[in-house]
Amino acid sequence: MISVLLFGPVAERARVSMLQFEHRSGLTLQQLRDELAASHPQAFEIVCFTAVNGEQARDPQLPLKDGDEVAFMARFSGG
Q: Given the rule CB under 8 A, which residues bind another protein? A: 5, 7-9, 12, 46, 48-49, 51, 54-55, 71, 73-79
Least Å distance between CB 39 and another protein?
20
The radius of gyration computed from the CA coordinates of the chain, to the nearest angstrom, equals 12
> Which residue, 24 or 76, is less far from another protein as judged by CB?
76
Q: How far is the CB of 38 from another protein (least distance, A)?
A: 22
Q: By C-beta, is 5 or 19 nearer to another protein? A: 5
- For another protein, which is the closer residue by CB, 7 or 21? 7
- For 22, 62, 64, 73, the CA distances from 8, given in Å and listed in that order, are 24, 25, 24, 8
What span, in angstroms and rounded, lies between the C-alpha atoms of 28 and 36? 13
Shortest Cβ 16–another protein spacing (Å): 14
CA 2 to chain centre: 10
Taking the C-alpha atoms of residue 19 and residue 3, their distance in angstroms, rounded to an integer, is: 6
